[in-house]
Structure 1
Amino acid sequence: MADDNNSNGATNPTLSILAQYTKDLSFENPGAPRSLQARENAPSININVNVNANPISGSDFDVVLTLNAEAKDGDKTVFHTELTYGGVFRIAGFPQEHMLPVLFIECPRLLFPFARQIIADVTRNGGFPPLMIDPIDFTQMFAQRVAEEQARAKVQAVPN
């Protein structure tokens, strides 16, 4: 007989997406229509990624993935797009020490394919080839963020 409890009475961990939403989307093509003409070299593209998470109530959390992409040809902006894409997640049954990795690794990993598609569509609709952002290693991003916060805490703890 199967049930949702393990042998010690704790519930099995669950992660559910209750909603996904576009919070903010912008696309700028400042040089249009000239920026749409053929060019000798591909523009350089800089992509920034950020993840934030906030509790809503009880076991519900709002996780927000921000993607910012800017294409430049020399010092001229070819296009700039920014997407803030969120999800409301219900997270239950995880040990407390696993909550931050779930929020900052697993949740954005679930949101990313949808956000990637929105960026690809908006750049294509702006007259450019679709920008297909490479997969993001959210585990490495989280590890880097933890290391930065630990370094900052050590600096603040050192007496003057």
Structure 2
Amino acid sequence: MAEENTTDGAAPAQPAQPQLRMQVLAQFIRDMSFENMVAKKGVTSGDVQPDIQVAVSLDARKRPADHQYDVISKYRCTSKNKTNGETLFLLEVEYGAIFHVEGVPEEQLHPFLLIECPRLIFPFVRRIISDVTRDGGFPPLNIDTVDFVTLYRQELARRAQAAQAQPTVN
């Protein structure tokens, strides 16, 4: 037999938790550059063993409108030949999105913007990187999933270390 909900005051009322609301209002490429060094220098014969490095950085800013934030993820993908160290290509992409975020406590907003928001737009920038490298004459670069939690923690540790290295002024 199903229980009925009653409002006879038997159970204490729970305060209403603010409802989390997140919406992507827009996504865009803010800046992009692709340099194909092989095409610039001419194709050289020899053994090419690409070594690809991907660097990721993040930024978030409050917009003038209530509850709106710009989140920018920056990717720098460098491919070098392992045999001679020559750069094969360099791809830099700044991919952004405008988010409407409500219901996140103030002390959790910064990590939310720099972890959850980039995680949501990552598949789109991953596809752009793959398409650009393929269209640039290389095999498509399908970058590994980025661990935004670890990236956020590393940035906090870097900032704390930089703050400790600053001399105090008396």
Establish whether residue 14 from structure 1 lines up as the match of residue 21 from structure 2. Answer: yes
Identity, % of aligned positions: 38
Q: Structure 2: which amino acid aligns with 1:151?
A: Q
- 2:138 aligned with 1:131: no
Give the gaps of 5 or more residues in structure 1: 1-5
Q: Which amino acid aligns with 2:74?
A: T
Cα distance in 1 for partners of 2:45, 2:69 equals 45
1:68 aligns with 2:76: yes
Partner of 2:53: 46
Alignment partner for residue 151 of structure 2, among 122, 141, 154? 141
Q: Cα deviations across residues 64-90 of structure 1 (Å, max 9, x unaligned)?
A: 001111111223211111111000001
CA RMSD of aligned residues (A): 2.2
1:79-130 CA-partner distances (Å, limit 9, x unpaired):
1111110000011111111101111100110111100100000000011100
Partner Cα distance (1:84, 1:128) in 2: 21
Equivalent residue for 1:121?
Answer: 131
Matches of 2:23 and 2:92, distance apart in 1: 26
> Between Structure 1 and Structure 2, how many residues are aligned?
155
Counterpart CA distance in 2 for 1:145 and 1:80 is 24
Q: Please give the TM-score of this superposition, normalised by the length of structure 2.
A: 0.82
Q: Distance in 2 between matches of 1:31 and 1:122?
A: 15
The separation in 2 between residues aligned to 1:49 and 1:149, in whole angstroms, is: 16
Which of the two has higher C-alpha Rg? 2
Give the structure 2 partner of residue 3 of structure 1: none
Counterpart-to-counterpart distance in 2, 1:90 and 1:70? 33
Unaligned runs of 5+ in 2: 1-12
Q: What is aligned with 1:28?
A: 35
- After superposition, give the CA deviation of every residue in 1:6-58 in whole Å (9 maximum; x if it has no partner): 942453111111100011111111221744x7753421111110100011122
